[in-house]
Chain A
Amino acid sequence: MGESFRQSMTWLHSWAGVVIGALLFAIFWMGTLSVFDREIDRWMIPDTRLSTVAAPPSLDAVAAVAVGLVRPEHRAWLATLPTDREPVVKLFFQDSEDHFESRFLDPATMALLPEAGSWAASDFIFPFHYNLNLEWMHIGYWLVGILGMAMLVMLTSGVIIHHRIFTDFFTFRPGGKLPRSSLDLHNLTAVVGLPFHFVITLSGLIIFFSIHFPGVVPIVYQDKQADFVKEAYGVVQRDAAGVPGDLASLDAMRMRASELWSGGQPYFVRIWHPGDANSYVEMRRSFPDTVTMNLDAVYFDGPTGAILHTHTAKPVMTVQRFLSGLHFIQFEHWTLRWLYFVLGLSGCVMIAAGFIYWLESRRKRHAAQGLAGVRIVEGLAVGAVTGIVTATLAFFVANRLLPTGATVLGYERYALEIWIFYLVWLASFVHAWIRPGHAWREQGWTIAGLAALAVILNGVTTGDHLVRTLTEASWAVAGMDLALLAGASVAAFAAWRLRPRAAVSLSFKQPAE
């Protein structure tokens, strides 16, 4: 053991980091943005920039609109109720293969809002961070699961190979040579952020335990797997009768549920088999002021409104729901939300600084030995770091430029935004490989330009410029614009610091410590 164990861990850490760092950065970046997913949604879907309503809307009024939109292939519809962060009723229509179509309702007028035309953050950025939008065969979930486990290995091996965790706890020498300062920054963000990085990765894995450990449920529950979802998540299933039936008052059911939950309110209601005599209603309790995402549910018989089943999570699931809650931050706590955002960004910095250290500690040797490794990995790093940021900003800019109902080659507007994201991301890798030595700086300027452009376009296309959003206190849109401007400033400063002259003095002229 001893030195050789540490050496083998160093080898593992640096090579695993190079291989999976690009995807880890993508997951951390998209996860960090997901902290403000509802706010990004408001920015990208301007029709939903409504003021919050004081009282929850009538569920019967929501149902009156929803039944008009239900088609025969829909086995359920559900509505999430407005919150401070999402001031709309979101209607979903679920088909037999569990595909969801969604529409927004204005809770004050019950008017159906125009189709969103964008997957925005809730349907693109947020799923990207747990399945890379690769739905086929759950391959994305598996890939992210493997990367999550690899991340835990990276954190552990990183702690093992770090020579002086406590002596170097606060050490950051930005004036030193680039290998030195990038390693300092990597160590600093990794060590002081270790609790966050560890818990966020572990809880992310635990959320999907039934996907990553698919063999466990069949072993324990044998052929009664419906019992598992019933016992764990309180999901009750009942077949349709095939005979038409009415729906009793949802508002009356909500009052019953609220009594059972000693004043708690549902955050969503789902009507299974709408219009059928065997229809039934699922209501789930909201959790605005607890970390734990409770699984309290009440099921009602649709035609009569009688209670069919009530559910509360059992102890093991309560632990799972606490850890899920730590990860999902669906509670109302702005201070923590911002801290999560900052710590998520620190995770991005950690991965990026790790890449830069890998490159800079090998650059001279690879040049001397004529190896291509640095050039290849540098392209990978640039595309993974500044590339995905550029692509995300292109996604925002496209959102503001594409007209309503735009289609190209049969692709709808929301798909075009996503295509632009992927094409720009791909282009950033190509750019990085054909412009070695310039790619970081040029993509930095691109980021600054696109972020500023996104703010301008938001003002021009929606009229919600910063002066208005700040004076009218529409914080979601104002916050998004301000964050874009802050990002633009950081990117411009970094690109300016990387101007050719500065790069030379940074790498060669400064005295080593």
Chain B
Amino acid sequence: MSDWLLFIGILGTAYLGFALLALGQSKHRRTVKAADLKTPFRSAIPRCLGALALATSLALALLRDGPSFGALLWVTVLTAGAIAVAFTLAWRPKWLRPLAVCFV
């Protein structure tokens, strides 16, 4: 059971991390109809948090499966997470709006 919870955590943080990276870019902020971030400092905030989420994903993967399987799991989950974010932006951009408006 904790295996499953950890996997959902790994996948969730990977998705969240990439979503935050995307929402630091003005083109994707326009896609989700959120206002542009005014200064480079402010657009760095979601990006840093995104990187932090991806690092958390790695830590959870290593915790779940140890160094070799954990690293492999993380790299493959990253790809899946990035594709999922791109598809969300393409077909369901509204879902990411609440996250986007956290940053102004």
Whether both chains belong to one complex is answered with yes
**Residues on A close to B: CB < 8 A?**
167, 169-174, 188-189, 192-193, 195-196, 290-292, 322, 326, 331, 333, 335-336, 339-340, 342-343, 346
Q: How far is the CA of A174 from the CA of B93 in the complex (A)?
A: 13
**Residues on B close to A: CB < 8 A?**
7, 18, 21-22, 25, 27-28, 65, 68-69, 72-73, 75-80, 82-83, 85-87, 89-91
Q: How far is the CA of A343 from the CA of B83 in the complex (A)?
A: 10
Once A170-B18, A174-B91, A192-B83 are accepted as A-B contacts, the answer to whether A336 and B28 lie under 8 Å apart by CB is no
> Is the pair B87, A172 in contact by a Cβ cutoff of 8 Å?
yes
Q: How far is the CA of A174 from the CA of B31 in the complex (A)?
A: 13
Q: Identify 16 new A-B residue pairs, CB closer than 8 A, beyond the known A174-B91, A336-B76.
A: A167-B27, A169-B22, A170-B28, A170-B85, A170-B86, A171-B86, A172-B89, A192-B78, A196-B75, A196-B79, A290-B68, A322-B68, A333-B65, A339-B73, A339-B77, A346-B83
> Is the pair A188, B72 in contact by a Cβ cutoff of 8 Å?
no
Q: How far is the CA of A333 from the CA of B65 in the complex (A)?
A: 10
Closest-CB distance, B50 to chain A (whole angstroms): 11
> Is the pair A193, B79 in contact by a Cβ cutoff of 8 Å?
yes
**Cβ of B75: which chain A residues have Cβ within 8 Å of it?**
195-196
Closest-CB distance, A199 to chain B (whole angstroms): 8
Nearest CB in chain B to that of A197: its residue: B79
> Is the pair B69, A333 in contact by a Cβ cutoff of 8 Å?
yes
> Is the pair B82, A170 in contact by a Cβ cutoff of 8 Å?
yes
**Cβ of A326: which chain B residues have Cβ within 8 Å of it?**
72
Report which of A167, A172, A291, A343 forms a contact with B79, defined as CB distance below 8 A: A343
Nearest CB in chain A to that of B73: its residue: A336
**Cβ of A188: which chain B residues have Cβ within 8 Å of it?**
83, 86
> Is the pair B90, A335 in contact by a Cβ cutoff of 8 Å?
no
> Is the pair A192, B91 in contact by a Cβ cutoff of 8 Å?
no
Nearest CB in chain A to that of B87: its residue: A172
**Cβ of A195: which chain B residues have Cβ within 8 Å of it?**
75, 78-79
Nearest CB in chain B to that of A192: its residue: B82
